[in-house]
Amino acid sequence: MKPFLAICRLLRKLNGFSVKPSSLVTFSTSSYLGGQKKKSSYEAVDEAKYSRLVRSVLSKASAQTPESLFKEDEILYGPVSKHKAPEQEQQVRVPQNWFPLFNEERNVKPHTSASSGPLKIPLQRNVIPSVTRILQQTMTPEQRSFLEKWKQRMVLELGEDGFAEYTSNIFLQGKQFHETLENILSLEENFKGREEHLQCGFIKSVQHILNEISDVQALESAVHHKALKYVGLLDCVAEYQGKLCVIDWKTSEKPKPFIRSTYDNPLQVVAYIGAVNHDAHYSFQVRCGLIVVAYKDGSPAHPHFMDEELCSKYWAKWLLRLEEYTEKQKVQKLD
């Protein structure tokens, strides 16, 4: 320690500076002790400049907001593709001219007994549009495109004449199916014991549905909604599992286990329900609907029951289609 202090005093005399001895001096046996220590690259950094840079970055980071982060992401990676839930993609439309589906002034149960025979009011041909026409004239572009592609595919497979024959046979099968059901459900003919009907695949398909139907009130009967100005010809009004329904019979070559597979059929059913409830020819009120999809191969038909809540939802959609049809007619008259 004495030699080290002597050296310090000597250096102070020669150069005019002082070196304070450390309170703790350690010695190492490392081979680097005798050599000059190599400078690290970090020692050459301007510490003042670096500290200002750090403070600048930290101050900016603290001022970041979700909006500024989204803007930076958009610049770096492009705009964000925003996908909304299906029910939020389109704004919910509300009918401008609301009319109630149900008629609270009427009883649910019919005043007259079905023993007098179901109603069969003939359809009067006039200028009032039918439910079928309104739905056809207000199909969405997607529906039109689907039908057009289906027609093109069928024409390609069958040819023009073959496609015409195919559509004619489909229409004939549907007509015969409805006529047979009308005979079965009317009081003129008892379904039990009439095995010849079971030879028809469509009738075999709906047999389990027929067993659930009772108290038929109307068959192939016309309806007229005077307030909303449309007419229609419903298939059947009867009780299904104890609930009075407007029943619509459909045929299909493909299975339709879900109501969404029936396209505009629910709108057709609620249009008939609304007309029945406000048509003076009918003394009762209907609050439910039923779509029955029958199959030619005889496989069990799919029944799609529509309760009051579901009917009310489709009624709002029907009113929108009715308004759309009215607007189109006004535009055509102006043209």
Exposure letters 129-138 (e unless 16+ CB within 10 A, then b):
bbbeebbeeb
Q: Based on the residue annotation, tell me whether 215 is a catalytic residue of this protein.
A: no
Q: Based on the residue annotation, tell me whether 307 is a catalytic residue of this protein.
A: no
60, 63, 69, 72 alpha-carbon torsion, rounded to 10°: -40
Task: Report the candidate in 226, 216, 227 with the shortest Cα–Cα distance to residue 290.
Answer: 216
Catalytic residue among 82, 161, 226, 235: 235
Q: Based on the residue annotation, tell me whether 335 is a catalytic residue of this protein.
A: no
Q: Are 312 and 286 within 8 A, CB to CB?
A: no
CB proximity list for 124: less than 8 A, separation 6 or greater: 222, 224, 231
- Look-up: residue for tokens 């070559």? 253
Catalytic residue among 204, 250, 264, 279: 250
Catalytic residue among 248, 256, 264, 279: 248
Name the amino acid, one letter, at 146. Answer: F
Q: For 191-205, what is the HEC assignment?
A: CCCCHHHHHCHHHHH
Distance CA 331, CA 335 (A): 6
Distance CA 202, CA 211 (A): 15
Three-state secondary structure call for residue 19:
coil
Give the residue numbers marked as catalytic.
Answer: 235, 248, 250
